[in-house]
Chain A
Amino acid sequence: MTVEKLKELGADTEQGLMRCGNNQEFYLRLVGMALEQKGYDELEKQIKENRLTEAFEAAHALKGVLANLSLTPIYEPVSEMTEMLRAKQEADYSPLLAKMWEERKRFIE
């Protein structure tokens, strides 16, 4: 994993790096943590069990981390879900969840 690769995938690496004091190593370490964290599973689980409040908490937390690291492609579906969950929308979340997983997968590979 390199900064160039992340940029290619659509991350706003300049912003993300800036927040890490332009320390590439530190940035990449945090990105690695962000991709591996259990927040995604947690979000999917809460949505499937229709616990919208808990799902919102999970989405909100995930969104914050992704925003700070500027992992924009994953951030976007999560952010959208966060707003829907905040409004307690009983919608079909599966397309957005799928998009989230798909983007994450691209970053991991």
Chain B
Amino acid sequence: MVTQNDFVKSRLSMKRRILIVDDEEINRLMLGNILEDDYEVLLAADGSEALNVAKNEKQRLSLILLDLHMPVMDGYEFFEKVREDEALKDVPVIVLTSEKEAEVRSLKMGAADFIPKPYDIPEVIHTRIDRIIQLYEGRNIITATQFDTLTGLFNREYFCEYSTIFDQYYPEGSKELIALNINRFHVINAVHGREFGDRVLAAIGKTVKEYAGETKGLACRYSADQFYLYLNGEGNGEELYAAINNALNELLGNSDTRVRMGIYKEAEKEADISKRMELALLACNSTKQDPGRHISCYDEKIREKEHYDELLIHDLDKAIAEKQFKVFYQPKYGVQGEKPVLSSAEALIRWVHPELGMISPGKFIPLFENNGLIGKVDRYVWKEAAAQIAQWEKKYGIKIPVSVNVSRVDIMSEDLADELETIVKEAGIETADYYLEVTESAYTDNQADMISLVKGMKDKGFTIEMDDFGTGYSSLNMLNELPFDVLKLDMVFVRNIHKDERALKLVEFIMGIAKYLKVKVVAEGVEYKEQYEILKEMGCDVIQGYYFSKPVCAEDFEAFIKERTESEVQG
């Protein structure tokens, strides 16, 4: 394997070309004499001549030795021209000077080094030149690998590497580690194409780079749409956010695609850079829970949540083994008859933790969805619900279908339909009484798999309910391609139906689609009589929500079953 060092060494064994720029012939000859055994030496008497020579040589120049005092074009002017030239800007320049002042000025301009006049002993000059060439050649190799090509920011390895150096350079003062990513970036790629997605990333990269430059900081693109910044000072968040928003406005107009940011303040107090990044990212992800928020700082609350989440993950297997999870059932009522009639139920999970007490599903479902553990919870519910349907049928003589949730990770499993069929058969019930809720967003992620999976489940006789309809980002074409039986109207649409004309119109529109597709509509989250009446009037088939009942344990649910059997007897 050729290492970077081997590469530098092998390149150093070839004869380098050095350009000497000095108006005094004697000085040129003298330096040339010192260097000509080891280097190919080119000579120029002034800046303008040197520029011509340099441009003809292009990248084959390894070094420029530059006198500052020259007629026609002096050293400073030449130096500026070289720095502006794409092909020459990386050629190191060593300044030849007899003045301290000029040494400082040229080093500030970006000279690699200086050689004082009168000249030092030849060995010193030689060593200085060799060292600079080696340094710059090595540096150019590093430069080629340390930057992300799309944005010009550091890549992740160098970001971590340089953060240590950064800490040594700026040991004083507070620093912030900022994690930054784009809301629903996959949607941008899906809708506008990858090339456009790259332009969005490049625009963010440019802004981030400028910001880090101004404030003496580092920035990297870590992966796809994940950026990190390590900055001096405090309160960088708002300003950076505004700058990025400006840049995105140019590209996206008034789109609601925005970045979210997590800030880990006083980052210097945590020694491990990857831990700093992790904590900033935790803060960043915490903004997902609050749609109005774009910036979040890592704080005690997030720290507690982190520990809490770790605890839940740790306890999951035990909870399943000890049946700490309880399946609750929320009744659904058919409302198109004279009186609402219990038609089915939705299985909802609760976790009764021995130490933490009742844990809301809002706390563990998103967590387990993110890390894939939700599959274990789903399977637990599937079995419990199937057994429950069988038990009620046996006890009351009627079939109460129950809907269970099929998560996005479940869809990845190829034999899912078979697995579900086995569960249902083992419980001794029929697939038609077992409703499967799949979410629309799963379709957005992977259309082909989703279509074949839904078809497979449908072939086995399961009833398919499209959950969260209208909250994903799929096209209306999804409705055509997925053979589902029931459309579940998300509660966000139902919430304001009795107060807001637009919400009402939207629901009317969705009801129209359902009618056209000849699928049933279930409205979720119905709380008030007004909502119920409007939905009934519109032709909604089934209603679920606090208006009828909150989710209750299996035992309490039996009251609804009894009510139905009694009314059927009376009827």
Contact A70 B69 (CB under 8 A): no
> B360 at interface (Cβ–Cβ under 8 A)?
no
Tell whether, in the assembled complex, residue B122 and residue A19 are in contact, meaning their CB atoms are under 8 Å apart.
yes
B113-130 vs A, CB cutoff 8 Å, 1 = contact: the mask equals 000011101100000000
Interface residues of A in 31-68 (CB under 8 A from B): 33-34, 37, 57, 60-61, 63-65, 67-68
Is the CB–CB distance between A30 and B117 below 8 Å?
A: no
Across the interface, which residues of A come within 8 angstroms of B121, CB to CB?
18-19
Q: Is the CB of A68 within 8 A of B33?
A: no
Please measure, in the bound complex, the distance between the C-alpha atom of A52 and the C-alpha atom of B117, giving whole angstroms. Answer: 22
Closest A residue to B34 by CB, please name it. A21
Cβ 8 A contact of A19, one of B24, B34, B69, B71: B34
Q: Tell me which of B23, B26, B33 contacts A23 (CB under 8 A).
A: B33
Once the chains bind, are A34 and B26 in contact (CB under 8 Å)? yes
Tell whether B224 is near chain A: CB-to-CB under 8 Å: no
Q: Nearest Cβ in chain A — how far from B395, in angstroms?
A: 108
Residue B29 interfacial (CB < 8 Å): yes
On whether the beta carbons of B34 and A61 are closer than 8 Å, the reply is no
Once the chains bind, are B122 and A64 in contact (CB under 8 Å)? Answer: no
Closest to A67 in B: B118
What is the distance, in angstroms, from A29's C-beta to the closest C-beta of chain B? 8
Whether A20 sits at the interface, judged by CB under 8 Å, is yes
Measured between C-beta atoms, what is the minimum distance from A66 to chain B in Å?
9
Structural contact, B23 and A61, CB atoms closer than 8 A: yes
Instruction: Report chain A residues within 8 Å CB of B25.
Output: 33
Knowing A61-B69, A63-B98, A67-B98, the reply to whether A18 touches B24 (Cβ < 8 A) is: no
Interface centre among B23, B24, B122 (most CB of A within 10 A): B24
Contact with A along B6-39 (1 / 0, CB 8 A): 0000000000000000011111011001100000
| Chain B nearest Cβ from A9, distance in angstroms | 18
Contacts of A37 in B (CB 8 A): 26
Cβ B122 vs Cβ A21 within 8 A = yes
Distance (Å) between the CB of B37 and the closest chain A CB? 9
- Cβ of A11 < 8 Å from any Cβ of B? no
User: CA–CA, A15 to B119, complex, Å?
Assistant: 9
Number of residues of chain A lying within 8 A (CB) of chain B: 21
- Contact, CB under 8 Å: A19 / B118: yes
Q: What string of 1s and 0s marks CB contacts (under 8 Å) between B443-477 and chain A?
A: 00000000000000000000000000000000000
What's the nearest-Cβ distance from chain B to residue A21, in Å? 6
A64 touches B33 (CB 8 A): no
Residue pair A18, B98 in contact (C-beta under 8 Å): no
Tell me if A69 is interfacial: C-beta within 8 Å of chain B: yes
Closest to B68 in A: A60
Q: Which parts of A57-109 form the interface with B (CB within 8 Å)?
A: 57, 60-61, 63-65, 67-70
In the complex the two chains form, what is the Cα distance from A101 to B539 in whole Å? Answer: 115
Q: Contacting A68 at CB < 8 Å: which of B69, B71, B117? A: B117
Residues in chain A near residue B119, CB distance under 8 A: 19, 68
Contacts of A65 in B (CB 8 A): 24, 26-27
Contact of B30 among A15, A30, A60 (CB under 8 A): A30
Residues from chain A with a CB closer than 8 A to the CB of B71 are 57
A14 shortest CB reach to chain B, Å: 11
Q: Bound complex: CA of A57 vs CA of B121, how far in Å?
A: 26
Shortest CB distance A87–B (Å): 13
How many angstroms from the CA of A15 to the CA of B24 in the assembled complex? 19
| CB pair A61 B24 closer than 8 Å | yes
Are the C-beta atoms of A26 and B33 separated by less than 8 Å?
Answer: yes
Bound CA span A65–B29, Å: 11
- A30 touching B29 by the CB < 8 A rule? yes
Across the interface, name the chain A residue whose C-beta is closest to B121.
A18
Interface centre among B30, B34, B117, by most A CB within 10 Å? B30
Residues on A with C-beta less than 8 A from B117 are 64, 67-68
Structural contact, B118 and A18, CB atoms closer than 8 A: no
Please, how many angstroms separate the alpha-carbon atoms of A26 and B119 in the complex?
16
Within 8 A of A (CB), among B150-186: none
The answer to whether A68 touches B122, judged by C-beta atoms less than 8 angstroms apart, is: no
B30, A64: Cβ atoms under 8 Å? no
Closest residue of B by beta carbon distance from A54: B71
Q: How far apart are B400's CB and chain A's nearest CB, in angstroms?
A: 102
Known: A61-B69, A64-B98. A33 touches B26 (CB 8 A): yes
Q: Mark A1-31, 1 if CB is under 8 A from B, else 0.
A: 0000000000000010011110100100010
Contact residues in A for B122 (Cβ distance below 8 Å): 18-19, 21
Across the interface, name the chain B residue whose C-beta is closest to A61: B24
Q: Which of B25, B26, B30, B122 has the most CB of A within 10 A?
A: B26
> Smallest CB-CB separation from B22: which chain A residue?
A64
Cβ–Cβ contact A64 & B27, under 8 A: yes
Closest A residue to B69 by CB, please name it.
Answer: A60
In the complex, residue of chain A having the shortest beta-carbon distance to the beta carbon of B122: A21
What's the Cα separation between A68 and B29 when bound, in Å? 11
A10 to B119, CA, bound (A): 19
A36 to B118, CA, bound (A): 20
Chain A residues near B69 (CB-CB < 8 A): 57, 60-61
Q: Which residues of A contact B30 (CB under 8 A)?
A: 19-20, 30, 68
- Distance in Å: Cβ of A51 to nearest Cβ of chain B: 14
Q: How far is the CB of B34 from chain A (nearest CB, A)?
A: 6
* Chain B: minimal CB distance from A52 (Å): 15
Give the distance to chain A from B507, nearest Cβ to Cβ, in Å. Answer: 85
Please tell me if the beta carbons of A69 and B26 are within 8 angstroms of each other in the complex.
yes
Q: Which residues on the B side are within 8 Å of A61 (C-beta)?
A: 23-24, 69
A20 is contacted by which of B23, B24, B33, B98 (Cβ under 8 Å)?
Answer: B33
Q: A26-B33, A33-B26 are in contact. List 17 more A-B contacts (CB 8 A).
A: A18-B122, A19-B118, A21-B34, A21-B122, A23-B33, A57-B71, A60-B69, A64-B24, A64-B27, A64-B117, A65-B26, A65-B27, A67-B117, A67-B118, A68-B26, A68-B30, A68-B117
21 example contacts (A-B, Cβ-Cβ < 8 A) are as follows A19-B30, A19-B34, A19-B119, A20-B33, A21-B34, A23-B33, A30-B29, A33-B26, A57-B71, A60-B69, A60-B98, A61-B23, A61-B24, A63-B98, A65-B27, A67-B98, A67-B117, A67-B118, A68-B117, A68-B119, A70-B118
Chain A residues at the B interface, C-beta cutoff of 8 Å: 15, 18-21, 23, 26, 30, 33-34, 37, 57, 60-61, 63-65, 67-70
